[in-house]
């Protein structure tokens, strides 16, 4: 059984959406995330989803009960248990007949709310100066500070170099 107690796939999808660029094909992003929308996103839905992404972004800076309740209030959430396509019972957070963007909004808001209630410090933004990527901390110890190992390495190498060039740390000429 794959069980992620820190928000699961819904919170991860929220992070992927926030990390997307204006050039990102959102339909492809949803497909790659194994989110099964019914039908393609039309241009109006893409615009609505981009506006939603800007709202989600704030949740990674300073998640709070008020902010997340605001996101939940903007959705058409109507949770129910589904068993489609031979899958085990699982939750859906909105009616299946709603437009894809409305279902994505409910799914991501519920995922972030679930994560916040379980472990609010697991919602984060990369600590590397200049990086604006967000992440869901699924690490064992819950102390993740960077979006990727690459960002972590860049910060630690820079810290190491600063330490070596300080008083007593450099080489004699």
- Ramachandran bin of 110, using left for φ above 0, alpha for ψ from -120 to 50, beta for the remaining angles: alpha
Architecture of the domain made up of 8-165: Orthogonal Bundle (1.10)
Look at 154 and 29; give whichever has higher pLDDT.
29
Domain boundaries defined on the chain: 8-165
pLDDT digit string, tens, across residues 48-76: 999 999 999 999 998 999 999 999 999 98
Q: Where are the alpha helices (DSSP H) in 8-139?
A: 8-19, 26-32, 43-61, 65-73, 100-118
pLDDT digit string, tens, across residues 121-166: 899 999 999 999 999 998 888 888 898 888 888 777 766 677 766 5
3 contacts: CB under 8 Å, gap ≥ 6: none
CB 79, CB 95: distance < 8 Å: no
- pLDDT value, residue 156: 74
Tokens 């031979």 belong to which residue?
86
- Mean pLDDT lowest among 81-85, 111-115, 130-134: 81-85
- pLDDT value, residue 136: 92
- pLDDT value, residue 165: 64
CB 13, CB 48: distance < 8 Å: no
- pLDDT value, residue 138: 84
């Amino acid at each position: 059984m794959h069980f992620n107690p820190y928000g699961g796939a819904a919170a991860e999808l929220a992070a992927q959406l926030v990390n997307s660029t204006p050039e990102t094909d959102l339909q492809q992003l949803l497909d790659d995330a194994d989110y099964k929308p019914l039908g393609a996103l039309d241009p109006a839905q893409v615009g609505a989803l981009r506006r939603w992404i800007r709202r989600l972004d704030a949740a990674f800076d300073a998640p709070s009960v008020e902010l997340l309740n605001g996101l939940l209030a903007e959705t058409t959430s109507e949770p129910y248990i589904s068993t489609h396509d031979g899958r085990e019972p699982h939750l859906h957070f909105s009616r299946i007949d709603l437009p894809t963007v409305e279902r994505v909004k409910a799914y991501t808001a519920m995922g972030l709310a679930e994560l916040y209630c379980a472990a609010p410090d697991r919602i984060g933004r990369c600590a590397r100066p200049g990086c604006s990527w967000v992440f869901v901390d699924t690490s064992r110890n819950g102390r993740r500070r960077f979006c990727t190992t690459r960002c972590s390495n860049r910060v630690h190498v820079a810290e190491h170099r600063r330490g070596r060039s300080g008083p007593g740390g450099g080489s004699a000429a």
